[in-house]
Chains A and B, each alone.
Chain A
Amino acid sequence: MSGFSNTTNEHLIRSELWSRQIKEVFLEELQGTRYVDFLTDFPDGELINIPSFGQMEVRDYEEGQSVQYAAFSTGNYQFSISEYKSVATYITDKNKQDSFYSAQLVGAFVPKMTRAIAVAMETDVLAIGPSGQTSGDLNAINGVPHRWVGKGSSNVIAPSDFAKAKLALRMAQVPQTNLVAIVHPSTLFTLETMTNLVNLSNNPRWEGVVRDGAVAGMKFMFNVFGFDVYTSTFLPEGISETIDGTVVTDGAANIFFSAAGGDTLPFKGLIRQAPRVESSREKNLQRDEYVMTARYGFGFYRPENFVCVLTDPAAAIAAV
């Protein structure tokens, strides 16, 4: 007696199938360029000078004496286009003919290229401040540091760091509107798991952070000392330095500033050439080529409108 079973009819079984569906990686939302004041009067050349005006001094005057004349001091901010990026790929005719996924593959070229350049720009923007400050230094302005190591245990963030960042900005005469903090995800984790917030002994209804978490989408559901708080994994990491006697190893930068807009923003930028895709047929090699290039630059325009708090992500994760 005989019949069909997997053991006798393996020819009729497709042992391995390939789905029409393509699995994409998760992509983080990009936000850095929102906080860049883009120049509009830099159509050519590689370097632009932006003069800055200082403050005028008053003078004591005595009757009958000649008044004294004096100029106020001036400065000069220089900005240059420093980055020229490219992304390029190709697909051969043979691969296009043989690949089941060639249509989706070619369709993904431009979005993937655009994303690659956008990520490079995001990383560059978020690194402007931390790399523009003097490492291993408090970068004090008007007596208040603009760079320090998180005051929580084992170099994690503490709520007081937010208050101190606000103090630093206020003492530097920075507008106290649209305060923004972009923090490392481990910093958010530290805040969400602070003992007093997750202690349920006085919170029998599981309210507040315990119920909702701190974040809805990209934004905190509440402000911390006036800062709208966002998270990003594109912030500089692997920072090891000693500030005011405190050592941080493999630290992450958490940045604070006022996004009041326009000329008050901490970063200047220019995109001389937006990401531009070009494709061509290479008949000698029997393939289609795709090239994307972009040319841009970012600069640290207002260091006084910037605070960097270094924290230890590993310590934050290990703390709970």
Chain B
Amino acid sequence: MSNWTNADGLTIYYGASEATPGNAGEYHTAGFAKPLEVQIDLATLTETETAVTRVFFPKDVVLWKVEVLTDEVAATGAAIDVGFLSHEGTPVVNDPNGILAALPAASMSALGETFSATADNLGTYGGAMIGTVCSSGTPLTITASRTTATAFTTGVIKLTLHWYRSSVR
């Protein structure tokens, strides 16, 4: 993927990378909660936390629920982290496992397998930012990485981040 981030903080995509279909977006829903879905190809992950989509998570909203749906079985890799990174020169929010903390391949080992976490039920792999106001005054980049040097050879998950804007916090 050929891109370049300029001094404005804007990433510019060149050539075929400009035409690459997006892997995230928000669905039109009624009600207070909004779902932001991100499709993550596990085989592309490295041990370095890297943005997995060009779509940002909104600022100053509550991440109240996270869902993972396995759309392609994960193979060979150990586990993944998913988190947030804010945009300042020195990021105010830098929590690379704030959404999913070492979610193991065993939880993504069957088609249709799901994992979910809420603030009152983080489970073993729910990140610390679930149930909090995810804010630094700027939108957040969604990052992901694998936890060991062993790469995933296959695996695709749909990660849904449910958020709402609170009037009291």
Q: Which A residues touch B9, using CB under 8 A?
A: 75-76
List residues 50-97 of chain A with CB under 8 A from any CB of chain B. Answer: 52, 54-55, 57-60, 66-77
Q: Which B residues touch A73, using CB under 8 A?
A: 10-11, 54, 56
Q: Contact partner of B22 among A68, A76, A77, A303, CB < 8 A?
A: A68
Contact code string B73-108 (vs A, CB < 8 Å = 1, else 0): 000000000000000000000000000000000000
Q: Nearest residue in B to A61 (C-beta to C-beta)?
A: B21
Say yes or no for A312: interface residue by CB 8 A criterion.
no
Q: Is the Cβ of B22 less than 8 Å from the Cβ of A57?
A: yes
Q: Which A residues touch B7, using CB under 8 A?
A: 77, 300, 303
Q: Is the Cβ of B27 less than 8 Å from the Cβ of A68?
A: yes
- Chain B: interface size category: 20 to 34
| Total inter-chain residue pairs, C-beta < 8 Å | 75
Q: Is the Cβ of A173 less than 8 Å from the Cβ of B21?
A: no
Q: Within the assembled complex, what's the spacing in Å between the Cα atoms of A75 and B20?
A: 21
Contact code string B135-148 (vs A, CB < 8 Å = 1, else 0): 00000000000000
Chain A interfacial positions (CB closer than 8 Å to B): 52, 54-55, 57-60, 66-77, 140-143, 171-173, 300, 303-304
Supply 24 A–B pairs (Cβ within 8 Å), ascending by A: A52-B6, A52-B10, A54-B12, A55-B13, A57-B20, A59-B21, A59-B22, A67-B28, A68-B22, A68-B24, A68-B25, A72-B54, A74-B10, A75-B6, A76-B9, A140-B4, A142-B3, A142-B14, A172-B4, A173-B14, A300-B7, A303-B6, A304-B4, A304-B6
Chain B interfacial positions (CB closer than 8 Å to A): 2-4, 6-15, 18-22, 24-28, 37, 54-56
